[in-house]
Amino acid sequence: MADYYEVLGVDRNASEDEIKKAYRKMSRKYHPDIAGPEFEDKFKEVNNAYEVLGNAEKRRMYDSGVDPNNPNSGGFGGGFDMGDMGDVFSSFFGGAFGGSQGPVPRTQPGRDALASMSVDLKTAVFGGTEQVRVNTFVLCPQCSGTGSADGSRPTTCPDCQGQGMRQKVVRTMLGQMMTTAPCERCEGHGNIISNPCSSCMGHGRVRTTRNIGVNVPAGIRDDSRIRLASQGEVGECGGAAGDLYVDIHIKPDKQFTRDGDDLHCWVRVPMIWAVLGHDVDIDTFDGTRTLQVPAGCQPEDTVTLKGLGAGRLRDDGARGDLVVHVAVEIPTKLSDDERGLMEQLEQSYEESHGGDKKPVAQSSRPTREKKGFFSKLKDALS
């Protein structure tokens, strides 16, 4: 019996949320559209594991020693109910126990597909249309999805007479029994394509790589997932296409970082600008804007530019703010003239405060009060 916990990489005591998270990670890792067609069997194995462990009743049966995906894997004891018995009898006696099986339609719905793409921060701020490249099944252009080279309709299978299933006698420990299995000639469809399309071999679809436009909404967050209806795999013989899910990753930006709907950046200004105040031109995603550095600006102070942040999802037109962190450049080397001016400034500062030097603030933990500009300047030059 397969170890489904090992397949998903979770502990046997894993919670439902942990199993879901592990399944999402593994399905993304081994999806044939991302990992390649050679991982299709591994992808099916992951889906089979989640089909059992993601269902509370099936997981209970599995933990008791019965694999719900394989009724013959366990005994008639732990967890083997009448539903399982019905499946077994149905496989031997066909419709005798209410499990009538008919031919499998050739037209089948397509599977969902998964892709990922990276967008820059500016696209995440304003939104836009990006192209994602996916490898998936599309309608066969040669036969238009019919699977037939000459457009003829399928004919009834002569081996199963359109039933899709064939019966045969097998010897068992209980004696001779009748078993039912899909017809090998028509593969259970009940009909055959006399002249299959040479491009799709009668399946009505071919695998190809194509570009799909993705509308990225303004304000989208990193690791978000967008659903594109009917952009997944086209089903066999013209079956409806599944959906395409696109995982969005936002690339780091050299000038801005994001926190929720706000953008943050850091600018360095000369010490004298922080003392006297100064207007500074900075780059934003909306073009050049003027930043007013207030007089007496302290290191680590921030200046907020309203409405220049990221768009807010589900709130058309609304945007966050751009928060500018001011870093004050304090010179570490001064000329004699510059040092003389600084000493005069220090003397003037002390005289304006009565000539008394304030005691050094000492504490076992960081003080809430910010260190004054002149204190920082003195520390840097000492």
Residues comprising the binding site for Zn(2+)?
Answer: 140, 143, 157, 160, 183, 186, 197, 200
Output the known binding site: 140, 143, 157, 160, 183, 186, 197, 200
Cβ atoms 103, 235 nearer than 8 A: no
d(CA 246, CA 231): 11
> CA-based Rg of the chain, rounded to a whole angstrom?
35
3-state SS of 19-46?
HHHHHHHHHHHHCHHHHCHHHHHHHHHH
As given in the structure block, the two tokens for residue 108 are 């089948």
Cβ atoms 282, 324 nearer than 8 A: yes
As given in the structure block, the two tokens for residue 68 are 């719900």
Alpha helix ranges (H) inside 97-191: 121-126
Check residue 61 and report its DSSP letter.
H
Beta bridge partners of 118: 249
Read off the amino acid at residue 207. R
CA angle 161, 144, 164 (to 5 degrees): 15
Give Cβ neighbours of residue 248 (< 8 Å, ≥ 6 apart). 116, 117, 118, 119, 216, 220, 222, 223, 224, 225, 226
In what side-by-side order are the strands of the sheet with 302-305?
257-259, 262-270, 322-329, 302-305
As given in the structure block, the two tokens for residue 324 are 């500018």
- Tracing tokens 């399946």 back to the chain, one arrives at 203
